[in-house]
Chain A
Amino acid sequence: MTINPRLYPLLATIGIFIAAYIVCWIQFPYMLSTRVAGNLLTDNAYLGIVAVGMTLVILSGGIDLSVGSVIAFSGVFIAVLLRETGLHPLVVFVLLLGVTTAFGAAMGGVIHVLGMPAFIVTLAGMFLARGASYMLTIDSVPIQHPFYELLKDAYWLMPGKGRLTLIGIVMLLSVAVGAVVAHRTRFGASVFALGGGERTARLMGVRVGATTVGIYAFSGFMAGVSGIVFSIYTGSGYPLATVGTELTAIAAVVIGGTLLTGGAGYVLGTLFGVLTMGLIQTYIVFDGSLSSWWTKIVIGILLLLFILLQRGLVRATAVRA
């Protein structure tokens, strides 16, 4: 039986994650408990959700630099709206998701209509979203609402006393939704086609404009969900939060085995990319003597490894063809 070469990056990601977990487990047997696993999911929930949106964007050959700012904007938007009005948090959530989805769609529209690189358009989006959250407030606004307490404390007690929190479940659900959208729908096929090349996609009959708008709208929606999760996680809204998250998310997607030129990758890989990065952090916390900057260096090395792996893979498939 031969394995599809397209699966290699995904298998490599999962393999590295399992190997890393085994290394951690040998050193700290307690790492292999549902408590640590539960925390791994909870602590990286917002990153995982936003990385799912980023995966779709990168699969289409684009990039979305605005998501970190959108997460910060979401937190501030929720906190300020809950403080100033008597709206129920659920109503605020719906409003917020409307705003962020429209924001993403607008960026997609600008990218398509003006024909400019996604990089610079979403850079403008990044400034705009961050600026908008500064204009709402420059302080960290606490969120105090009985419904929020409820969300924060909602969890499912796994065997071994690990807590699978609500936000952890939301992340797993987002990955599932993202995987279905990317791999099982007509829209997902259009995204892959676009990543393979705009001209060929057009010849295949993909509606490039609608798909581009849809991709960035999806990314904006996911950034909104991630913002809600982040506000539940921190219990506040702060305009300076999640600076640089877009680059962490891109790194997670690359470590997850998605080709940065677009057109090849799996949403499931992104989940493992996020978890691998979370695992490195957990290991450093467990060790206690390592400094936090090692996280950055190790993530950089992982990034390099995966990119080299992809280069080799692209060359190998090119030779075969």
Chain B
Amino acid sequence: MKRSFRRVLPQLLTLAALMALVTLFFPQFLSIDYAGGRLSGPVIDVLKRGAPVALLAVGMTLVIATRGIDLSVGTIMAISGAVAAWALSSGWGAGPAVILAVGAGLVCGLWNGCLVAIVGIQPIVATLILMTSGRGIAQLITEGRILTFDAGPFAWLGSGILLGLPVPVFIWVLTAVGVAALMRRTALGLLVESIGINRSASALAGVNATVLLIAVYMASGLCAALAGIIATADIRGADANNAGLWLELDAILAVVIGGTSLLGGRFSVAASVLGAMIIQTIDTGILLAGFPSEYNLVIKAGLVLMILLIQSPNLVGHWHFLRHSLRRDPDASPRGAKS
């Protein structure tokens, strides 16, 4: 427990610092009201609006841990949203709509997984195919319109309230906890990491890398489908063009902020989800603090550069040196001895 806490400490500190910074410009940021059976306030808003990216980040973490990348998650959101809206508007209930949408996400994931694991295409290209053609498929389902539907119980998934909190918050928190438990309470997480570090070696050691890789991409498709359901339920309509547009980049950014290396290996679902919250805090914070939203992208770019500096393999030696010389007694350090 203590070790996993230390793993997410940098992300927690960043989030806390950001929240303090936003509070400095917008003092009401941390205020939470309770009215009409629901909690409301900027923090709740961050938790709710961050749901799609947090969900995508959960799936993306697993994919990146296998040294892959999934560019198609934004498009899968659009497809599953379109499927759900189509099912609802043709008179199916909320339950079948959710099942169909999740099924669509799994099929998309299966497609990606087969291309990567069986055909052997690089992940970035394999998922690029679905990324470009998928929006066309989604538009085919919605026939190019923004498909709307009668709200009913389906809309509850996007804008409903449970125990005072928005439903999307429960969906992403439960997904993240579920996936993290599945990975860490069993050996699955270890196997996923071993594929990321060296696929052929882990295959030789008896890991069924092909099946596991396909499963990982399917998990990413599943998370994207959940995100698509939330986005569709929230606006009560499926927009094939704009649903989840460029969210894959935010999801990748969230995973990178979470400290999972793009080169595969060690991963932390909790840290990625915190990364998603960091991104959402920046988005919301910039608006609340009264900065023009134009600064948003520049700040994100700065953030990525900072992470690059911290994670760079070429600088790892320097960081270790820095940490050691900070920890050591000043007199004992080589520099201290010299002076």
Contact = CB atoms under 8 A, between A and B. Distances in A.
Contacts of A301: 133
A163 interface: no
B296 A131 contact: yes
Given A260-B122, A307-B121, A138 B294 contact: yes
B256 interface: yes
A159 B304 CA distance: 53
B298 A114 contact: no
Interface centre among B119, B140, B294, B312 (most CB of A within 10 A): B294
A124 B305 contact: yes
Interface centre among B240, B305, B315 (most CB of A within 10 A): B305
Given A117-B262, A301-B133, A124 B301 contact: yes
A303 interface: yes
B297 interface: yes
B54 interface: no
Interface string A127-148: 1101110110010000000000
Contacts of B301: 124-125, 127-128, 131
A296 B133 contact: yes
B295 A135 contact: yes
Given A251-B132, A303-B129, A308-B119, A119 B298 contact: no
Interface string B123-158: 011101111111111011000100000000000000
A130 B297 contact: yes
Given A116-B312, A123-B253, A297-B140, A247 B132 contact: yes
A70 interface: no
A199 to B, nearest CB: 15
Given A134-B294, A303-B129, A115 B313 contact: yes
Contacts of A135: 294-295, 298
Interface string A29-68: 0000000000000000000000000000000000100000
Given A117-B263, A131-B297, A293 B308 contact: no
Contacts of B122: 260-261
B98 interface: no
B314 A113 contact: yes
Chain A interface category by residue count: 35 or more
A297 B136 contact: yes
Contacts of B305: 110, 124
A296 B241 CA distance: 12
B84 interface: no
Given A116-B312, A119-B124, A131-B294, A300 B129 contact: yes
Contact of A131 (B140, B295, B308, B313): B295
Interface residues of B, number: 47
Interface in A239-255: 243, 247-248, 250-251, 254
B309 interface: yes
Q: Is the interface of B mostly helix, strand, loop or mixed?
A: helix
A117 B68 CA distance: 12
Contacts of A125: 301
Contacts of A116: 262, 308, 311-313
B129 A295 contact: no
A251 B301 CA distance: 25
A300 B132 contact: yes
Interface string A281-321: 00000000001011111011101100110010000000000
A295 B133 CA distance: 8
A120 interface: yes
A222 to B, nearest CB: 21
A205 to B, nearest CB: 21
A300 B125 contact: no
A25 B94 CA distance: 48
A251 B315 CA distance: 34
A216 B246 CA distance: 23
Given A63-B124, A128-B301, A260-B122, A110 B308 contact: yes
Nearest to B262: A117
Interface string A261-279: 1000000000000000000
Nearest to B306: A124
16 contacts: A110-B305, A114-B312, A116-B262, A116-B311, A121-B308, A124-B308, A125-B301, A128-B301, A243-B246, A254-B125, A260-B125, A299-B132, A300-B136, A307-B121, A311-B120, A311-B121
Given A120-B262, A291-B139, A297-B133, 13 more contacts: A114-B308, A114-B309, A116-B312, A127-B301, A134-B297, A247-B132, A254-B125, A260-B122, A293-B136, A293-B139, A299-B132, A303-B128, A307-B126
Interface of B: 69, 119-122, 124-126, 128-137, 139-140, 144, 240, 246, 249, 252-253, 256, 262-263, 292, 294-301, 304-305, 308-309, 311-315
